[in-house]
Chains A and B, each alone.
Chain A
Amino acid sequence: MALEPKDVLVRMYDDLQRALQKKPEERRWVMVIDLRKCVGCHACTIACVAENKLPPGVVYRPVVEQERGKYPNVTRMFIPRPCMQCDEPPCVPVCPVNATYADEEGVVVMNYERCIGCRYCLNACPYSARTTDFGYMYVNARLPMAEGLILGREEADDYERAANYEYGIARERSGRLESPVGNARKCHFCLHRVHEGELPACTTTCIGRATYFGDINDPDSLVSELVKLPNAIRLREELGTKPKVYYLV
């Protein structure tokens, strides 16, 4: 690919601003991940954990590491695995209470207050992209106290209990069994950021500029250009789930 005239992040911001001018139902968010550029730093995973304040056991964007070949002819490959935001999502029709659905922008979202925690969607997802929040906390009695330091058990506890803003709703983590504890959780393309004109946390944090985000309905957007490339693939296309996450290989 030729050198971009400007940083892809700047271009994606411009694309994003343009998309936000449209009606929600007229835009279609997609993500493109260039596997040749991914160095396996896991910064996207951590950024996602920090942005959404994910508790232990909940992950939206793990980076799968694959080792190929036999020593000494070995190569490693890194495959970030967010929710594929399928156009035909197998997780949606199985929900008995309609707590998960594709919103008007095509992103599969969760209604935590509706979800009963049956975990049917976890088993239905062919990408294992959903996890359940069992209510674990990073801060517990086993964490050592660090008196006099900026960080320590108490400060970390305050941070962990402070609200996150998934879906634009402030939810404090009280330690009790309140939603989203007991619910299925998943990547939502950081819609709370996107609607404020910010790119998803994983996209801005990627040190290799390997993650791209934008509106595929905009022919001038970067992602529209990228998905047309012959080396753009989607995972498990044979299932017909039509993922909106593309990989450049």
Chain B
Amino acid sequence: MTEKNPIPENEQEHSTPQPAPKAESAPTVQRKPLQLTPLSILWGAGIVALLIGVIGLFQRFQEGLRPTALGSYVPWGLWVATYEYFVWLEIGSLVVFTLIVYVFKLHPILHKMAVTLYLTALVILAMALILIGLDLGHPFRFWHVLVWPQWSSLLAWMIWAHMIYMVVLLAKLLIEAYGKSQTLKAIGRALSYISIPLGLALVAIAGSVFSVMVGRPAWQGNGLPLYFLISSLVAGTGLLTFLFTWFYPNKQDPEYLSTVRWLGNLLLGLLVVGLVAASLGGMVLLYPGIPAQAEALRLALFGPFWWVYWIVHIGLGVVVPMALLLGRNPSSRQVGVAATLLITTFIAVPLNIVIPAQVVIGIIEAELVAAFHGPTLMAGYFPTLNEWLVTLFALAFGFLVFLFGFTVLRLRPHADISAEEASK
């Protein structure tokens, strides 16, 4: 079989590269050697991570949910927990930011971070929707919720609220980045005010999705919506502090360090509130010792994955950040490290909320689990490689979009704008 030349014959003459006549007098152009800048490394890492993640995505579409560790007794796992965490991050950071800058009018310097924060929140929102979409048995039927919503379902409310929030956030980002007129800025401010109750409602609904389920006694009750709100504020403050500390362009700004410390103190205070709330909730579950409720918490605290709670969450996510923040005058680096540690380890919280409450069926209804065997009738759960790969895909996708927005679209704070000017 002869291969066809893709270039038509009449064009070949022109397309064939002709050897250039040597002109001795012509100046020699020296090519710059390819330099590995930190930015190019970040792009490269993001693309590699995305390509690795695509393997999981391909497998997901080829084989459905079979390559996951999900089953009928543990139907929600890593992707749902990560979705919840992303909701906390995106909403919490925006609510805290809007409260500080617009409602209480504190630290106007923070307003310079608006465009970066909106970009980050939008990227996190996209990652959340990717993961929750891929968690569906029929991802391409997501539109059914928009066409045939059942309003008695909190899940329908959650998805609708999330969609509306996405539109509001996108509008805020566009106005903040490109809106020059006073009218647009006024709309942006109005949207910011609207986003506070809308965001808080979304987080509360996300918590209520779990708390209305009589089938899972460890979730059921009125505590989770409140706990979700507190967790969202903690995670969101962590994200805001992270962004401001590391991405604020003018570290010499006299307000910079004081604002960083103020955010550090806020984070510390919210961490304490979160700890108290979690401790109270935990004690209420453990004290009566009813297995259907208490066993899930015991599993999280002392089960095979005890280290997720004690080392990842409490150790790296609470104790170390608190130690860093408790100093008299912590440096910006200390605050930044504390915030970084917090937001990278706080995923342990939704994981410990979502998974043990389902896995516990293996203890409290062991006979049911033993009654019939099948590949998805297991009470245990640990994410499979496919679940990690798909999560990596979502993270890499978000990272690359952020990088694109930050570097190419220049959606980042500019040091030359004064705080007062920015907040107008």
**A, B co-complexed:** yes
Residue B141 interfacial (CB < 8 Å): yes
Using Cβ atoms and an 8 Å threshold, which residues of chain A touch B156? 96-97
Comparing B6-14, B212-220, B221-229, B251-259, the segment that makes contact with chain A is B212-220
Bound-state CA distance A181–B135 (Å) is: 14
Contact of B371 among A64, A95, A120 (CB under 8 A): A64
Count B-side interface residues using an 8 Å CB cutoff. Answer: 45
Knowing A94-B155, A123-B215 are in contact, say whether A114-B368 is a contact too (CB < 8 A): no
Within 8 A of A (CB), among B121-141: 135-138, 141
Is B371 a contact of A63 with CB atoms below 8 Å?
A: yes
Using Cβ atoms and an 8 Å threshold, which residues of chain B touch A181? 64, 137
Residue A183 interfacial (CB < 8 Å): yes
Within 8 A of A (CB), among B96-147: 135-138, 141-142, 144-145
Is A118 a contact of B136 with CB atoms below 8 Å?
A: yes
Contact of A96 among B137, B145, B215, B368 (CB under 8 A): B145
Using Cβ atoms and an 8 Å threshold, which residues of chain A touch B216? 123
Proximity string of chain B (27-58) to chain A, C-beta cutoff 8 Å, 1 when within and 0 when not: 00000000000000000000000000000000
Using Cβ atoms and an 8 Å threshold, which residues of chain B touch A56? 374-376
Bound-state CA distance A95–B153 (Å) is: 6
Bound-state CA distance A117–B63 (Å) is: 15
* A interface residue count range (under 10 / 10 to 19 / 20 to 34 / 35 or more): 35 or more
Proximity string of chain B (50-83) to chain A, C-beta cutoff 8 Å, 1 when within and 0 when not: 0000000000000111100011110110000000
A93 to chain B, nearest CB (A): 4
Proximity string of chain A (12-36) to chain B, C-beta cutoff 8 Å, 1 when within and 0 when not: 0000000000000000000000000
Is A128 a contact of B361 with CB atoms below 8 Å?
A: yes
The SS class assigned to the B binding surface is loop
Is A64 a contact of B368 with CB atoms below 8 Å?
A: yes
Within 8 A of B (CB), among A47-104: 56-59, 62-66, 81, 90, 93-99
Is B145 a contact of A97 with CB atoms below 8 Å?
A: yes
Is B66 a contact of A131 with CB atoms below 8 Å?
A: no
Within 8 A of B (CB), among A213-232: none
Using Cβ atoms and an 8 Å threshold, which residues of chain B touch A243? none
Knowing A96-B150, A122-B75, A182-B64 are in contact, say whether A58-B215 is a contact too (CB < 8 A): no
Nearest A-chain residue to B374, judged by Cβ? A57
Bound-state CA distance A95–B152 (Å) is: 8
Comparing A3-11, A132-140, A195-203, the segment that makes contact with chain B is A132-140
Proximity string of chain B (305-333) to chain A, C-beta cutoff 8 Å, 1 when within and 0 when not: 00000000000000000000000000000
Bound-state CA distance A117–B66 (Å) is: 13
Using Cβ atoms and an 8 Å threshold, which residues of chain B touch A110? none
B135 to chain A, nearest CB (A): 8
Proximity string of chain B (149-163) to chain A, C-beta cutoff 8 Å, 1 when within and 0 when not: 110111110010000
Using Cβ atoms and an 8 Å threshold, which residues of chain A touch B245? none
Is B372 a contact of A59 with CB atoms below 8 Å?
A: yes
Residue B377 interfacial (CB < 8 Å): yes
Using Cβ atoms and an 8 Å threshold, which residues of chain A touch B214? 90, 124, 126, 239, 241
Bound-state CA distance A172–B370 (Å) is: 30
Residue B358 interfacial (CB < 8 Å): yes
Is A124 a contact of B213 with CB atoms below 8 Å?
A: yes
Is B368 a contact of A128 with CB atoms below 8 Å?
A: yes
B217 to chain A, nearest CB (A): 9
Residue A108 interfacial (CB < 8 Å): no
Using Cβ atoms and an 8 Å threshold, which residues of chain A touch B150? 93, 95-98
Q: State the A residues within 8 Å of B (CB).
A: 45, 56-59, 62-66, 81, 90, 93-99, 114-120, 122-128, 130-136, 177, 179, 181-184, 239, 241
List the 7 closest A-B pairs by CB distance, nearest first: A117-B137, A182-B137, A57-B374, A57-B376, A119-B75, A62-B371, A131-B72
Q: State the B residues within 8 Å of A (CB).
A: 63-66, 70-73, 75-76, 135-138, 141-142, 144-145, 148-150, 152-156, 159, 209, 212-216, 358, 361, 365, 367-368, 370-372, 374-377
